[in-house]
Structure 1
Amino acid sequence: MLHVSILIGLILGLGLGLTAAAVPEAHAMKDPLMALANGVAPLGVAFMNAINMVVVPLVMAVIFTGIAKLGDPRKLGRLGVMTLAFFWGTILPAILIGMGVMWIGLSFAPDMPVPPVEAREVPEIPGVVDFLVSLIPRNPFAAASSGALLPVIVFTALFAAAAGTLEEAARSRLVGFAEAVSDALIRLVYWILWTAPLGIIGLAAPATARLGWDFLVALAVLIVCVIVGLAVFFTVVYVPFLRIVGGIGPVHFLKSTFGGFAIAFSTTSTAAALPVMLEEADENLHLSPEIADLVIPLGASMYRAGSALFQGAAIIFLADLYHVPIPAAAVGGALLATFLVSLTVAPVPSSGVMTLAPALQTVGIPLEGLAILLSVDRIPDMFRSATNALGQVTTAVVMDRLATKDGATGDGPSTPPT
């Protein structure tokens, strides 16, 4: 399996790097080991070039497809509008919690002497007004060729929204073309990811040779912060909605959704958990089938608050790793980029890492950081996928209760809070 091969590549890269770092300077093997650790770096460079080649068109394709498929927002109906409002309204606190927890967690991470953005210039951060103006590209193709990813994504989102208002035949042709492009890019991503073990060796070995055990400690801090952040997010965002609006306590909710949670956790895919989530929504939570059958599949295709939280934490982690300062204006740009790419889900492994490039580019963080995240992504991916699944069912509970209060069909959650 892919994640197993990536893990093997990580172990080999870390082993080579740690061995080179542990050998005393005076030892005869020091220079050959350091030369070997640094000599595999071109593998990492080639892997990152391949990732960078595909990630921007992939993000554009999936954003266009996800937004355009919604159709005319005026025809979504009240339930659809409320569902989208809940999705997007909880993304921002997820990103902020991820950033905040990671910021606190950095105090437990070692201070590593990573050169501040080698061969990269930190972009000059404009004022608020200039930043907002810069989001509207004069020429989206020129913006794409110059590496200005955020304006390109804004253009893609607006273009997709406009396409959604076209007649069904015209909209279907555009969506079909975008889906075909997306499918081809996804296949290319899979081909690239099969080379990931070699790329991980080429990136992990030089970094570990230079930083030693501090690099591993920093990665462990990232993983712990993501898990803690997801727990905080569930507690302070989902639990109040479940109790106040849904009338369900967290213990009963977790028991009732354990099957879908477990499948999403083990497979790192909410799509795989979808049938079980729908069954549990009906049999355990007694939600209206009409509401659950709309909200949960829609959430599986375009709602990933857990992934947004991970991306917020990853931005702060990589900024600290590469010694890139993040002014307030840059945080706003990173928030917007992360929010936009979270509007849809690219159906590829570690999509939360793959779609992080626009946010990193906005604040001047080297895209090599994506490979660092990819090397340890399996554990965070399990927890954020489970959180994504819980969020999709939470949305269904909230929408069901709101519909019940309005006199719509549906029994609503019938079990008292626990």
Structure 2
Amino acid sequence: MSQATRILAALALGLALGLACGAWMPGWVEPSAAVAEPIGGLWLDALRMTIIPLVVSLLITGIAASADAARAGRLAGRAVILFMAVLWTSAILSALLTPALLGLWPMPGDSAAVLRAAVESTEQPAATVPTFAQFVRSLVPTNPIAAAAEDRILPLMFFTAVFAFALTRLPKAPREQLTGFFRAVADTMLVIVGWVLRAAPLGVLALAYIVAARAGASALESLGHYVIIVASVGAVVWFLAWPLAMIGGRVSFLAFTRAVGPAHAVAISTQSSLASLPAMLRGAETMGVPVAASGVVLPIAVSLFRATGPAMNLAVAIYVAHWYGVPLTPGVLAAGVVLAATTTLGAVSLPGSISFITSIGPVCLAMGVPIDALVLLIAVETLPDIVRTTGNVSMDMAATATVARRSRFDESAATEEDRLLAQGA
């Protein structure tokens, strides 16, 4: 049984037990919740301890990799610029679209209030919502170590980004030494995350039981509502791959659809962009993109470019904010956009059950949104993760066609660096 299946089974079991206890033995709800809460809380704290070191190290290595790719060749540099533009567009689109969807179709009935009450005892107090002036002043940390200790994620990420860009200006030897150190830190933290996630079914079962016992059927309605909202936001980014391919890459609608079809099949079955790379390379060839171009752009895209990440990560954070009643002021949304767009550079190309909390946790922390609900939401990540992966695959191929076309790229126009990169891929 896969990890995602075990987590989903734990969710179903926890919800069933909680609903049964709430309906037939209401007197046992609070005593049993008092036993389950430390279990879920301990598992959540174990995940929380990995967020800061993992995100910092991944952001540094992601920016270093982007800079190396931009320096590697003309085509790679243009690809990185397009990737950055799409990532920021994805985040901004989510900041506009998700609140609009929640306004048009809010959570069922009084589910938000009931769910807040259901997790009240495990809820972390949300940060005070800053004014715009306070938000701007808070971007630069006077003490990065204190910012990390206090979970002030936005100023910490600002310092980390400045540090990473400064690192790219160092000579090759110290630059590679520092990058290697942070890559080793990231790999070590991923090992710890893997250990913690082995206990995910227990943590998810405990929290699902608490929520279902206290909230009843509202928990089931809200989870379905959440999946549809977040998947819809990701689907919008996914479908934007067609206009990008048609306008930027001058590929017809039908040609792009045929080219991306096999990659979609792999993405749906594996939920991994990396596993879809061979199918993407073949699809790019059917669109008429030279191998010397696709062999450069697509491997970089798989490593750095996750177009649906900013939109869907921010959508989750906004949904949880809506759940907990956190005001979505312009400053809060701006903090979410910045974190969602930048931390995607360091996202792990692995199924969503592994990267879910480490990718979305920093966005929630920056927006002052409690992350406790993420333990429950990770269990229903399968469908949103399929949308994430298929959307990323489509955007990877659309961006590749666009960069190749806009660079007037053909085999004779490839630089020596581009050819070497393609051969290495």
Common fold: TM-score over 0.5: yes
Which of 371, 378, 387 is residue 383 of structure 1 equivalent to?
387
Which of 316, 321, 330 is residue 328 of structure 1 equivalent to?
330
Give 1:73 deviation, angstroms.
8.0
Which of 230, 235, 251 is residue 234 of structure 2 equivalent to?
230
**Contact 1:117–1:324 (8 Å) recurs in 2:** no
Is the alpha carbon distance of 1:184 and 1:251 closer, same or farther for their aligned partners in structure 2, counting shifts above 3 Å?
A: same
Asked if 1:286 corresponds to 2:288, the answer is yes
Structure 2, unaligned stretches of length 5 or more? 415-425
Match in the other structure for 1:244: 247
Which of 320, 345, 348 is residue 346 of structure 1 equivalent to?
348
Give 1:354 deviation, angstroms.
2.2
Instruction: Compare 179-188 and 363-372 and name the one that shifted more.
Output: 363-372
Q: How many residues align?
A: 403
**Contact 1:353–1:370 (8 Å) recurs in 2:** yes
Asked if 1:11 corresponds to 2:12, the answer is yes
Partner of 2:297, secondary structure, is: helix
In structure 1, how many angstroms separate the alpha carbons of the residues matched to 2:299 and 2:376? 32
In structure 2, how many angstroms separate the alpha carbons of the residues matched to 1:406 and 1:130? 50
Partner of 1:125, secondary structure, is: coil
Is the alpha carbon distance of 1:13 and 1:330 closer, same or farther for their aligned partners in structure 2, counting shifts above 3 Å?
A: same
Counterparts of 1:154-169 in structure 2, within 5 Å, are 154-169=158-173
Structure 1, unaligned stretches of length 5 or more? 24-28, 411-418
Give 1:11 deviation, angstroms.
1.0
Give 1:191 deviation, angstroms.
0.5
In structure 1, how many angstroms separate the alpha carbons of the residues matched to 2:13 and 2:30? 15
Q: 1:285 corresponds to which letter in structure 2?
A: M
**Contact 1:302–1:343 (8 Å) recurs in 2:** yes
In structure 2, how many angstroms separate the alpha carbons of the residues matched to 1:248 and 1:314? 33
Give 1:392 deviation, angstroms.
0.8
Q: 1:228 corresponds to which letter in structure 2?
A: S
Is the alpha carbon distance of 1:400 and 1:117 closer, same or farther for their aligned partners in structure 2, counting shifts above 3 Å?
A: farther
CA-atom RMSD in angstroms:
2.2
Match in the other structure for 1:218: 222
**Contact 1:238–1:394 (8 Å) recurs in 2:** yes
Is the alpha carbon distance of 1:352 and 1:244 closer, same or farther for their aligned partners in structure 2, counting shifts above 3 Å?
A: same
Which of 52, 65, 72 is residue 61 of structure 2 equivalent to?
65
Give 1:12 deviation, angstroms.
1.2
Q: 2:128 corresponds to which letter in structure 1?
A: E
> Please, what TM-score do these two structures have when normalized by structure 2?
0.88
Which of 359, 365, 377 is residue 361 of structure 1 equivalent to?
365
In structure 1, how many angstroms separate the alpha carbons of the residues matched to 2:26 and 2:170? 65
Q: 1:269 corresponds to which letter in structure 2?
A: S
Counterparts of 1:10-409 in structure 2, within 5 Å, are 10-23=11-24, 29-71=25-67, 75-106=71-102, 107-110=105-108, 111-112=110-111, 113=113, 114-115=116-117, 120-235=124-239, 237-282=240-285, 284-350=286-352, 351-404=355-408, 409=413
TM-superposition CA deviations, 1:228-260 (whole Å, max 9, x none): 22332233x322222222111333212112111
More helix by share: 2
Give 1:129 deviation, angstroms.
3.8
Partner of 1:40, secondary structure, is: helix
Is the alpha carbon distance of 1:164 and 1:17 closer, same or farther for their aligned partners in structure 2, counting shifts above 3 Å?
A: same
Is the alpha carbon distance of 1:370 and 1:280 closer, same or farther for their aligned partners in structure 2, counting shifts above 3 Å?
A: same
Give 1:190 deviation, angstroms.
0.5
In structure 1, how many angstroms separate the alpha carbons of the residues matched to 2:184 and 2:168? 17
> Please, what TM-score do these two structures have when normalized by structure 1?
0.90
**Contact 2:70–2:76 (8 Å) recurs in 1:** no
Give 1:151 deviation, angstroms.
1.1
**Contact 2:18–2:212 (8 Å) recurs in 1:** yes
TM-superposition CA deviations, 1:357-401 (whole Å, max 9, x none): 121112221121221221111111111111011111111000011
TM-superposition CA deviations, 1:116-139 (whole Å, max 9, x none): 976644333333343223211111
Q: 1:176 corresponds to which letter in structure 2?
A: G
Q: 2:21 corresponds to which letter in structure 1?
A: A
TM-superposition CA deviations, 1:145-196 (whole Å, max 9, x none): 1221111111112111111122111111111111111111111111100100
